[in-house]
Structure 1
Amino acid sequence: MAEEETTGGADAGKPGGLTVTTATADGVRVLTAVGEIDHHTGGLLREALDAPYAPRARIVVDLGGVTFIDSTALNIFIAAHRDLDDAGGRLRLAAASDSVMRTLAIVGVDTLIDCRATLAHALGD
């Protein structure tokens, strides 16, 4: 993967902080999130997902390093999914921990957005 950019707030690397790294792998934009995605940190993920992308863009969010999500994250994922779908692209979520996957499943986000067990599976067609 070719790394492009890392963003993080003042609390990145601390409990409750978030870091988002953007890279490209075989034409797929991969966002790797580490930390917690909530109303304090969600702006970083939203900015990374809102970055200009070409029509039919494919984006994968690697959640392997995410320890907590709240409704902010769910809303960000749903909005990004809709925007990408409208542009002929797609959003996939990858490598969510059991607790994060449970949150996605409780509200049905896993039935709206393609969730894969690993980043490698998410990068495949």
Structure 2
Amino acid sequence: MNPAGEIDHHTGDALRHALDVALTAHPRVVVDLGGVTFMDSSGINVLIAAHHALTQAGGWLRLAAPTDTVMRTLQIVGVDAVIDCHDTLRQALAD
């Protein structure tokens, strides 16, 4: 999954829907954040909910290539301690 631009209260539902579809197809999901320029609490909440749902399904959620701005947001709220964050997509896809 490769969202781009801003993930906020206006676009969070699109990400939530995409993650819901991914969850039904496969319990292991990588979200490439390399194209995301901004993320607010709406995006954080979507990622945490997806992480919990995937974990309960026996899978996982990994975040790949977050921009510096997005990574800083993930670190401030502690998401990086809960959801695996990787510097590159290749690292996130490796088992």
Q: Sort the TM-score into its range (normalised by shorter chain).
A: over 0.9
- Counterpart for residue 8 of structure 1: none
Name the structure, 1 or 2, with higher relative contact order (CA <8 Å, separation 6+): 2
Query: Which structure has greater helix proportion?
Result: 2
Runs (5+) with no aligned partner, structure 2: none
Give the 4+ runs in structure 1 shifted more than 4 A: none
The 5 A counterparts of 1:43-62 are 43-51=13-21, 52-54=24-26, 57-62=27-32
Alignment RMSD (CA, Å): 0.7
TM-score, normalization: structure 1? 0.73
Q: Distance in 1 between matches of 2:5 and 2:76?
A: 21
- Counterpart for residue 20 of structure 1: none
Q: Distance in 2 between matches of 1:42 and 1:76?
A: 7
Q: Which protein is bigger by CA-based radius of gyration?
A: 1
Query: Which structure has greater strand proportion?
Result: 1
TM-score, normalization: structure 2? 0.95
- Counterpart for residue 62 of structure 2: 92
Shift of 1:53: 2.7
- Counterpart for residue 18 of structure 1: none
Runs (5+) with no aligned partner, structure 1: 1-30
Shift of 1:102: 0.3
Q: Distance in 1 between matches of 2:38 and 2:10?
A: 12
